[in-house]
Amino acid sequence: MANSVLERLLQKPEGNGFDAVREKATSLIKEKGLPGKKNEEYKYTNLSRLLEKNFTDFEGNKEANLELLKSKIPTLSTIQLVYVNGNLSEELSSYTLPKGIELEALAANADSVDENADEFALLNASNLKNGTSITFTKGFLVETPIVILHITDSSKNQAASHPRLAIKAEENAQATIVELFLGNGDATSFTNAVTEIQCKGHSLLTYIKVGNENDNQLHVGNTKVDVAGNAVFNAITANFGGQMVRNNLRIALHESYSEAHLFGLYMSDEKEHIDNHTVVDHQMPNCDSNELYKGIMNGSSTGVFNGKIYVQQDAQKTNAFQSNKNILLSDNAAINTKPQLEIWADDVKCSHGCTTGKLDKEQLFYLKSRGIDEQSAKTLLITAFANEILEQIKSKEVRAYVQNLLHNKIGG
């Protein structure tokens, strides 16, 4: 990518205690550059040309847009934190924190900048000006889902937003957290999010990421997860829009008897592009992972799935399963899928696979023969295909919201 593009993306917020973090990350990203079309990891998702915009860093027009932004906010929980272009909006947020949750501003720590991080994660750190830390404290069961809503407001300018969230589930804590990404405005926008998650021993954390962005939005998300012994981490990722979306989910099972369950649902149409990259790194014995991603592509849209499972030499007795299933609703839609296993241990049970096809014509004909119109029949078949993922969302409000997004997408 041309240096001029990178320079425009490297904002310089000052005076908020993150100078050392930004300086270190900026040095690294200038040395590495942003990934172009020759980068194997971004082979199918080349953001270089799309990022050649004069993005600005602004808080949005609070007075003019407050009511409009309110209309975009779904009520999914009694605890909702709303960020507009990376800045917490007290006017839009609503919460009374129950016992078991600690909410703090993110602490600046230059040592936390990982030299081997994804280039866009480094770009996020180079623009870091604030962030939020959420801790689910030891031994508490938090029944209410915590919703973090990110709105990128490009109603006045081409906007860039770099939100950052740190989540920790301490020993024996149980909780659910939802990150929801929306857009507002007609100008091009770029959301570059980083979420870092720690699951301590015997904890149970469910993380749900939902993207419903406009077709003028670019989105890159990096989610990094560390899972300790006897902990269970559940991830559900659902995407229903965006000009170009890239989700990077990297999970390390670094102690024995840890588990990770990954579920994904993505539906694109017109010329949208949705890319899911996952990595599950089995580092120690007796760990389990299970991964199922399902995609529905329509119009001239493109889907990408690249899933990697690493089983390290010490990770004996590993169980790891991965599957990607796709439906193409039009002749111009495409999917690039690549499930991968890299195994260095010999006492393991691992499998991976992928399928791609179209809606079953016989099932469609059967439903139509029973008096169901074609659009309703398609909706039933696609919903049935997606239900295996939707059922993983235990919150009724969140599940209904995601299902409604799916139905709206099907209906066009």
In this structure, what token pair is assigned to residue 170? Answer: 């301490």
User: pLDDT, tens digit, for every residue of 282-324?
Assistant: 999 999 999 999 999 999 999 999 999 999 999 999 999 999 9
Q: Is the pLDDT of residue 5 over 80?
A: no
Percentage of the chain with pLDDT > 70?
93
Residues in the chain: 412
| Residue whose structure tokens are 């960020």 | 83
Domain ranges for the chain = 3-255, 359-412
Letter string b/e over residues 375-411, b meaning 16 or more CB atoms within 10 A of that residue's CB? eebbbebbeebbeebbebbebeebbebbbebbeebbe
Q: Name the pLDDT band for 1 (thresholds 50, 70, 90).
A: very low
Q: How far apart are the first and last CA of the chain?
A: 35
Instruction: Evaluate if pTM is beyond 0.75.
Output: yes
Measured distance CA(276)–CA(389) in Å, rounded:
15
User: pLDDT, tens digit, for every residue of 178-225?
Assistant: 999 998 888 899 999 999 999 999 999 999 999 999 889 999 999 999
